[in-house]
Amino acid sequence: MAGPSAKQLVCVTGAGGFIGSWLVKELLQRGYVVRGTARHPEDRKNAHLHALDGAKEHLSLYRADVLDCKALSAAFSSCAGVFHVASPVSDDDPEVMSAAIEGTKNVVNAAADMGVKRVVFTSSYGAVHMDPNRSPNQTLDENCWSDLEFCKQTKNLYCYAKTVAEKTAMEEASKRGIQLLVVVPSLTIGEMLQPTLTLSVSLVVASYMKGKKKYPNAVAAYVDVQDVARAHVLVYENLAASGRYLCIGDVLHRSEFLQMIRELFPQYPITTKYVSAF
């Protein structure tokens, strides 16, 4: 059974980001009234949100940082649901990653304080696949978690932080009586609505166009950003939904992915050399 969407007020944290922008668009198309949070709502980099169909009537941007509980509470006031998409991304700054974990805790508690009963959290495939002790023949599903010690040993701070943040969200939601739904997307690519280059596109596509010398000899899971946005809304509207949901489109060896890039952009010297994944 799907929940009502017409005129329902919901909030999206990190509304101006890659996934957040598409999620706002999807919600507006489905008739929701949307509040989006941004650290600097007036910044020109958020102008694309105001250009979305229905934004003039049904979108407002609130100034809020995930470390500011008071600002989060103001943004969540009177909302039926919250989509927590915002998350700092870094593999070399422990403070940024700590903020991602604390920010998730703040979002869940601010939602509870404002009477919100349903929160959708954007996790990451990085919280699932980082485990060297798992059999290569094992099928990964929603019961799989990344090994925190392995994440630290390999300096994958982003995977570490997303794993801890997701578990923190679950713990806080259980304490506060929040129904938490978790979307776990794999490497998210696709058309960008915002004017700035996303980290995933920068690392996985643009870096090879700029002359990156080698690619990892490994497979990776990919998903289109529009499918990720739809997944968030589908789990929110399905009142029987619960727990984690992997969101994966295709699993390709990096060589296959780069061959697609070569065919699309033959003018760039995409490397054919590989290096061991770990």
**Kindly report the CA angle at 116 between 112 and 118, in degrees rounded to 5?**
105
Any domain includes 156? yes
What is the pTM for the complete model shown?
Answer: 0.92
Any domain includes 195? no
Percent of the residues in the chain that have a pLDDT greater than 90, as a whole number: 68
Any domain includes 260? no
Nearest to 110 by CA among 75, 157, 65, 73: 73
SS3 13: strand
Any domain includes 4? no
Enzyme catalytic residues: 162
> What CATH number does the domain containing 59 carry?
3.40.50.720
Any domain includes 29? yes
Q: Let me know how many helices (H) and strands (E) the chain has, helices first.
A: 11, 12
Condensed to tens digits (0 to 9), the pLDDT of residues 131-165 reads 999 988 888 999 999 999 999 999 888 899 999 99
User: Average pLDDT, stretch 58-83?
Assistant: 96
Any domain includes 267? no
Name the band, by pLDDT with cuts 50, 70 and 90, for residue 7.
confident
SS3 41: coil
Residue with tokens 């280059």: 197
Distance separating alpha carbons of residues 30 and 40, to the nearest angstrom: 26
Any domain includes 218? no
Any domain includes 214? no
Does residue 95 surpass a pLDDT of 80?
Answer: no
Condensed to tens digits (0 to 9), the pLDDT of residues 10-25 reads 999 999 999 999 999 9
Residue-range definition of the domain harbouring residue 135? 9-189+224-249
Number of separate domains in the chain? 1
**Beta pairing partners, 219:** 253
Does residue 100 surpass a pLDDT of 80?
Answer: yes
Check residue 1 and give its pLDDT.
40
